[in-house]
Amino acid sequence: MPPALVFATHNAHKLAEVQAMLGAGFLLKSLNDIGFEEDIDETGSTFQANAHLKSKAIFDRFGLNCFADDSGLVVDALHGEPGIYSARYSGSRDPKTNLELVLQKMEGHQERSAHFVSIISLIWEGDNYFFEGRVEGSIIEKSRGLAGFGYDPIFIPKGYDLTFAEMEATEKNRISHRSLAMQQMLEFLKQQS
C-alpha cells in the first residue's frame, strides 16, 4: 500500500490538481479525510510562513506526514498585491469578486506583468522542508476561459497565448507554479523511499 500523505487543504480543486500530479505513488488525504474541519489561520507575513503554519498545525495535532501550500498572484503594478491575501483580497473568499477587484485596480495600467508563486511546506518524518514554484506572466484586461480556478482566467503565462483557464488541465499542471513546487517535493520524496 502506498504511503499516506496529508495535504492540508479543504479546497477540492487543489486536491484534484495535486492528486493528478502525484499519481499512484502516494495515498493523498485531505483535511476532510482525517476529520479536520476547522480553518487554520494564515497569520504569517509571507507565503512560506503561511504554508508552514498550516503544515505544522496538522503535524502537531495528528503526527502525520503532511504538506501545505500557500500560493497567490503577485502583480507588479499593484506593488505585489494581492500576494498572500490572494484568496481573500476583496474581503471575501469569493474568487470572482477577488478577480474583479484585480481587474478594477489594473484599469489604466500599461505595466501588466505578474507572477504566480507557490510555496510548499512539507513535514516528513518530523523534519520541515520547503519547495518553491514560480510562473511569470501577465494580467489581461478581461476574463477568458472556464477551466481552472481563482485568478486563472486573467493570467497568461509567459510564452503562451492562453490564460490558465483556457488550458487543458494537463497543460496547466505541467507548467503551473504549484506543479513546479510539487515536482521538487516529489523528487525529494522519491529519494526518501
CB 152 within 8 A of CB 175: no
Of 77, 68, 80, residue with least CA distance to 109: 77
Catalytic positions, written as ranges:
70
Cα(168)–Cα(116) distance, rounded to whole angstroms?
18
CB 181 within 8 A of CB 129: no
The three-class DSSP label of residue 71 is: strand
The three-class DSSP label of residue 53 is: helix
Cα(71)–Cα(154) distance, rounded to whole angstroms?
16
DSSP letter at 78? G
Angle at alpha carbon of residue 41, lines to 39 and 46, rounded to 5°: 130
The three-class DSSP label of residue 135 is: strand
Cα(178)–Cα(16) distance, rounded to whole angstroms?
12
Cell, residue 147:
477551466
Q: What is the CATH number of the domain that holds 177?
A: 3.90.950.10
Cα(9)–Cα(30) distance, rounded to whole angstroms?
6
Q: What is the pLDDT along the chain (193 residues), one digit of tens a residue?
A: 677 889 999 887 778 877 877 777 778 899 999 999 888 888 999 999 999 999 999 999 999 999 999 999 999 999 999 999 999 999 998 999 999 999 999 999 999 999 999 999 999 999 999 999 999 999 999 999 988 789 999 999 999 999 999 999 889 888 999 889 999 998 898 887 6
Cell, residue 145:
476561459
The boundaries of the domain holding residue 171 are 4-192
- Please state the φ and ψ torsions of residue 192, each to the nearest 5 degrees: -85, -20
Q: What is the DSSP string of 74-139?
A: EEGGGTT-BGGGGGGTTSS--HHHHHHHHHHHHTT-S--EEEEEEEEEEEETTEEEEEEEEEEEEE
The number of folded domains in the chain is 1
pTM listed for this prediction: 0.89
Please report how many Cα atoms fall inside a 13 Å half-sphere around the Cα of residue 168, on the Cβ side: 3
Cα(131)–Cα(119) distance, rounded to whole angstroms?
6
